[in-house]
Amino acid sequence: MTEVSSTEAGTAADGGSEADELCARTATELVAAYADRSLSPVQVTEAVLDRIERLDPLVNAYCLVDPDTARAQARASEQRWRRGEPQGLLDGVPVSVKDLLLTKGRPTLRGSLSSDSGQDWDEDAPCVARMREHGAVFVGKTTTPEFGWKGVTDNPLTGVTRNPWDPSRTSGGSSGGSAAAVALGLAPLSVGTDGGGSVRIPAAFCGIFGLKPTYGRIPLYPASPFGTLAHAGPMTRTVADAALMMDVLSGPDSRDWAALAPYQGSFRAELDREGGVRGLRVAYSPTLAGAPVDPEVAARVRRAVELLADLGAEVEEADPGFADPVQAYHTLWFTGAAKVVEHLTAQQLAALDPGLREVCREGAKAGALDYLGAVAERMALGVRMGKFHETYDLLVTPTVPIPAFEAGREVPEGSGHERWTGWTPFTYPFNLTQQPASTVPCGTTADGLPAGVQLVAARHGDALVLRASHLLFEALVREGITSAAPVRPRG
């Protein structure tokens, strides 16, 4: 894989110290270094914990860091590597987990003052269990808006999470803590969730790779109150690392009755399939459903599309032709939010994020016919996209039509939008349709803020999205447009 070397990345990240060079390594590089004994999991974990202590105060990516547990897991991993008996694909690799996902032995507070931290935490979510089985080192849990309800990350419990490219800007959300942590080199891998763009939005704003797989490809438990809109997905600095994670996270779990059958094969092996993207039919929609796009973002996305064509893809400008399904999405999302808080006391409701209270009130007003009408619109959209992909292998759009805006706000000042969905029209349609969708970092604006390009395939086309994303990412690195290096923080 073509990427910035660890030495170059460490220098770019923060002064080039030995510890920072270790934090610049990708997970793929770390596993190779453990195998040849040139690095140890203890070295790397100490470097990551040190970097978190120094740099996380700039962005507030972590709501919980557990150095003692991480060190113990790293020591156990080091012993396995010394014996030549690694436990799995991620043995010794530092990881973080979004604080919506259960983690045994650690509280999952979901960014809410209403959560009870004193209860027994005796279960792992499926993706956490799979990473634990593969020997990952858990350094901490990352921030989320309250119950993951919106596309930016701030909450009443832990405050505002900021963008490492410019801490005055938002990291996006709802997996904003994961995105900021990965971008800043505070562990190379994280798992986020995505119910309307919550992996892709912050990945685009923070200049990293994110994947929302086909619904059910990564099992979920407990079932999300947002129903089948909610996916889990990897967040990484390279596509190769995301494919590595997918080989781990897509393992089966009987607790998710809607999970897909285990993937037959390896997502990593698919990245370098002979032929690459040559001959793929790619539809480029610069303004999906007519949504306006910032000119600088549009230019970065168009250049990425040109590189896909240079790689041999057959690109044409084409649009699926659907109207913005935001009202159907709101019905499904807001009713889910109302379900989340229905058990809370009046005092707890009063302490919620004010925006969350508003959407919960709106969701509680929806009746069964409203909900079923939204489901019907969702199904029609799925049919339309299924037919679209009979003609086109991939749909390419901007991920988010604007750069990151002021931190601590749900919508950009002066935008006229009422809710977060107003400024991210390219992401939630593909939660409605359950299709795999990725975001690839494709350069920065004149202000130094990242842009992302979104690649969407038909349901079950996860390997195709990863392969195309990988080859595009490599091309963008060769052109000097993007990098695998952690961000050098501002501020």
Q: What is the CA radius of gyration of the chain?
A: 21
Q: Which helix (H) or strand (E) holds 377?
A: helix 368-391
Q: Who's near 196: CB < 8 A, 6+ residues apart?
A: 151, 229, 329, 333, 421, 424, 427, 428, 431
Q: Is 67 helix (H, G, I), strand (E, B) or coil?
A: helix
Reply yes or no on whether 174 is catalytic. yes
Catalytic: 469? no
CA angle 25, 30, 32 (to 5 degrees): 130
Q: Which two tokens mark 19?
A: 């510890």
Helix (H) or strand (E) segment spanning residue 22: helix 18-23
3-state secondary structure 103-120: ECCECCCCCCCCCCCCCC
Marked catalytic residue, from 114, 171, 190, 198:
198
Query: Residues 40, 98, 178, 438: which is the catalytic one?
Result: 98
Query: If you write DSSP's letter for every residue of 153-210 in order, what string do you get?
Result: -EETTTEE-EETTEEEEE--SSSHHHHHHHHTTS-SEEEEEESSSTTHHHHHHHT-EE
Q: What DSSP line would sit under 224-268, residue for residue?
A: PTTGGG-EEEEEESSHHHHHHHHHHHT---TT-TTPPPPPSS-HH
Q: With contact defined as beta carbons under 8 Å apart, do 336 and 229 qualify?
A: yes
Is cis: bond before 222, omega within 30 of 0? yes
Give the SS3 label for residue 145: coil
How far are the Cα atoms of 175, 327, 372, 376 from residue 199, in angstroms, in the given order?
6, 21, 27, 26
Q: Is 104 a catalytic residue?
A: no
298 backbone dihedrals φ, ψ, rounded to 5°? -60, -40
Active-site residue, from 77, 96, 114, 174: 174
- Catalytically annotated residues: 98, 174, 198
